A and B are shown apart, each in its own frame.
Chain A
Amino acid sequence: MPNATLDDIVHTGPGTLGGRYLRSFWQPVATAESLAPGTAIPIRVMSEMYTLYRGTDGAAHTLTPRCPHRGTRLSTGRVEGDALRCFYHGWKFDGDGACIEAPAERMGFCDTVRVRSYPTQEYLGLIFAFLGEGDAPPLPRYPELEDEGVLEVSEPVVWPCNYFNRLENSVDPVHLPFVHGDSEFSEAGLGDVPEVSGEETGFGISTSAKRPNGAVRVTHFHMPNINYLKDPPKENSLGWVEHLSWRVPVDDESCVSYVMQLAHVTGAAAEEYRERRKRKLEKARTTASATMLGPRVLEGSLRIDDIEDRTFIVNLQDYVAQVGQGTIADRDDERLGRSDRVVLLMRKIFLRELQALADGRPLKHWHRSERVLATVGV
């Protein structure tokens, strides 16, 4: 097979090398909260549409987007028990995709009809689907996020850039003192330029950022699109929080972030924390978001430094840097240095795995048997 290229990483539609690779992992497709029992929604993942619905008893299912009969969208149908009935002519499908009723057809007809269904599971407030070929591997667990505390699953946000722009950023700690030079990150002590190194692990890449004072911040990228790290304390007084995020392609030109954070607070402190977070989220709802302000900064009609309210500045800063690279970053025309060595490691790993996939050789089996330790490095 021809050599896999960076181009193969960024394109993830059905049948593409990158798409086949990402589909060999479980991917989050919605937050659990966004799918009420008895409802169905259309979702778009890696340039492909699907139907996601939740039976009245609570189980989530992922099916093809269209009814096989004459192709209307299944998500407009009606959920009945654990099954979904098409809006157009009432064909009814169970969670495995078997047609169990075709009211205007002869008895037995529906036995010959089925749509594809995809393994679907819920974990940590997210709905995951396995959209690949063959048997689904076990859904990975993240014990660091299962600890006692307050788990917060953010509303998914779509940015108009390729997912790999975002992945490269997650193994690039040098961007912190610049992109986030004036933010809660610098206030937390991440404002000076670190020495960067990375190593391949059983689950992905561990990135170390050593600060001039000797403190080392370690973050853990999990193949193929997951980042685990500790974020600066929220709401002043509290300790650093666990941060776990996925960047999932919607299509080649946009991606969605699923982000969750666990704050190590319990009892009355947890209640207080929830209250403070609630107020902050309310404020977020009435404050211009990164997706609203970002395009204005990029077109030059607004400067980041002129934004007075810095409450949500980190997100905007990242948006400007990553979307600003171009929808799909032009990697033929870049000038990398030693501080990009972990970015290069990530590309090398992706290319190696894509090549193995193209050649039909075994892929590396990514896993971790125990907890990994992320450090704050201040």
Chain B
Amino acid sequence: MSIVERVVSTSGPLDFAKTGPATITGRYLRHFWTPVALLDDVKPGRARPIQIMSEWFTYYRGEGGAPHVIAFACAHRNTRLATGWVEGDCIRCFYHGWKYDADGQCVEQPAEDEGFAKKIKIAGYPTREQFGLVFAFLGAGDAPPFPNFGGFDESGSLELSSYLRKANYYNQRENSSDVIHVQFVHSKSDFARSGFNRDIPTLTADETEYGIRGEATFADGKVNVHHILMPLGVYEPVFNREAGWIDHLAWRVPVTDESHRSFIVDRVHKTGPELEAYRAARAKRERARADAQSVDEIVTAILRGDMHIDDVPADHPDIVNIQDSVSLNVQPLISERVDRLGRSDHEVILLRKIMAREIAALAAGKPIKMWRWEEMLSIDSGT
């Protein structure tokens, strides 16, 4: 057994994959503010059901636009609240008109006696909007302070996006701590033009107050710098064909144990006409996406062996997504894998150790580390 395997195996069980409400990792992740939707996923005055960490909720916006997250089902006979009507900052159930406020307190029951409503309360979750994302605190007890996003929005233009991937969130987390995969998985993509794949870098990673700072040093001495933001975020340089290197802030939020949704805020260093040109180019890519074969179809065909990843045109609008899906969607859950790790997995191992340590602390009733991100972190593409 190599040293790295020993380090991992003594750090506790690798049961980070399952995040339902009764799981230890699910309980751990619910200690933190989590992005749960794009603000624009619903219009003011509308609602939709959302699934986060294998649990369903109701996301609605008051008529004035404020986002709210409450329990999925009406307390009465459990129909789904998202099919109801928003009234002011309340939502009224479709079935018998019970009305709840944003804290989940029932405030009206048209067919019941006076006084019954005040005894009824369903879960309501603290909710905050930031960068056009809706964050919620889905745990028990008081919410921790909302993270200070350290001036991330003070320069450049912020571009919001989101996508669902049929891979466990933790496979995706490890992929973010693994810059080496770019050399292989993304060898035929936008990255090929970025200069990133010129040689295989040497890696270091250190734990910080926010998570992990990872560095990759190339033969020419230049250093790529990225940050893992515990427990679900990553802040890293990413290359795209329209803008070159951009600052990529993303959260990988479990939807079920087999899928996760990425919530992404890209900071693009462009203003004025340059920014307009960038947005036009992105819109063009969106149109190309509508015409192209879907990611799901292509990934399924590749995984079945009907086609090879190299058969997908390198300029496919979702090429990077397809490439990552091919390697990540079929990796077993972290808890069910028998890995053979090497030095290039240094940061992957550190992340496992941190997760195992924190989850062991939670299980033992000891304090967990409350991660802080209070000043602007610097990243570097290293190109």
Contacts and interface: CB of A to CB of B under 8 A. Distances in A.
Interface in B296-342: 302-305, 308-310, 326-328, 330-332, 337-342
Contacts of A102: 342
A72 B327 contact: yes
Contacts of B302: 76
B185 A70 contact: no
Given A72-B330, A76-B326, A88-B184, A104 B305 contact: no
B327 A78 contact: no
Interface in B199-249: 200
A75 B302 CA distance: 9
Contact of A104 (B180, B308, B332, B340): B180
A87 B184 CA distance: 6
Interface in A21-74: 39-43, 66, 68-73
A76 to B, nearest CB: 5
B174 interface: yes
Interface string B340-383: 11111100100000000000000000000000000000000000
Interface string B185-207: 10000000000000010000000
Contacts of A105: 342-344
Given A70-B174, A87-B309, A88-B327, A42 B183 contact: no
Interface string B171-189: 0001000101101110000
A121 B342 CA distance: 34
A69 B184 CA distance: 14
A42 B331 contact: no
A76 B303 contact: yes
A49 to B, nearest CB: 10
A90 B180 CA distance: 9
A11 to B, nearest CB: 22
A43 B303 CA distance: 11
A73 B342 contact: no
Contacts of A109: 342-343
A68 B184 contact: no
Contacts of A239: none
A69 B344 CA distance: 11
A76 B309 contact: yes
A281 to B, nearest CB: 20
A89 B338 CA distance: 17
Contacts of A87: 184-185, 309, 326-327
Contacts of B181: 88-89
Contacts of A14: none
Contacts, number: 87
Given A90-B184, A104-B200, A42 B340 contact: no
B342 A71 contact: no
A89 B332 contact: no
A343 interface: no
Interface size of B as a range: 20 to 34
B328 to A, nearest CB: 7
A271 B345 CA distance: 59
A105 B180 CA distance: 10
Contacts of B345: 69-70
Contact of B331 (A71, A78, A90, A113): A71
A26 B326 CA distance: 31
Contacts of B183: 89-90, 103-104
A60 B183 CA distance: 28
B38 to A, nearest CB: 30
Given A40-B305, A89-B181, A68 B340 contact: yes
A106 B343 contact: yes
Nearest to B182: A89
Contacts of B338: 68, 71
A75 B305 contact: yes
Nearest to A30: B305
Nearest to B340: A68
Contacts of A89: 178, 180-181, 183-184, 344
Given A42-B303, A75-B305, A76-B302, A70 B180 contact: no
A70 B303 contact: no
Interface in A156-197: none
B184 to A, nearest CB: 4
A103 B183 CA distance: 10
Pick the most buried of A89, A106, A112: most chain B CB atoms within 10 A of its CB: A89
A40 B330 CA distance: 16
Given A76-B327, A89-B181, A103 B200 contact: yes
A70 B339 contact: yes
B343 A39 contact: no
A112 to B, nearest CB: 8
Nearest to B184: A90
Given A71-B331, A76-B303, A113 B326 contact: no
Given A69-B340, A70-B341, A104-B344, A42 B180 contact: no
A104 B330 contact: no
Interface in B4-30: none
Given A76-B303, A87-B326, A87-B327, A104 B309 contact: no
Contacts of B200: 103-104
A42 B304 contact: yes
A240 B307 CA distance: 39
B330 A113 contact: no
Interface string A101-134: 0111110010011000000000000000000000
B345 to A, nearest CB: 7
A75 B185 CA distance: 14
Nearest to B201: A104
A64 B332 CA distance: 14
A118 B156 CA distance: 56
A14 B184 CA distance: 32
18 contacts: A40-B305, A41-B304, A42-B305, A68-B339, A70-B341, A70-B348, A75-B303, A76-B308, A76-B309, A76-B326, A78-B310, A86-B184, A87-B326, A89-B180, A103-B200, A104-B180, A104-B183, A104-B200
Given A40-B305, A69-B340, 18 more contacts: A41-B305, A70-B348, A71-B332, A72-B326, A72-B327, A72-B328, A72-B331, A73-B330, A76-B308, A76-B326, A87-B185, A87-B326, A88-B185, A89-B178, A89-B181, A103-B200, A105-B344, A106-B342
Across the A-B interface, give the 5 residue pairs with the lowest CB-CB distance, nearest first.
A41-B305, A104-B344, A68-B340, A105-B342, A90-B184
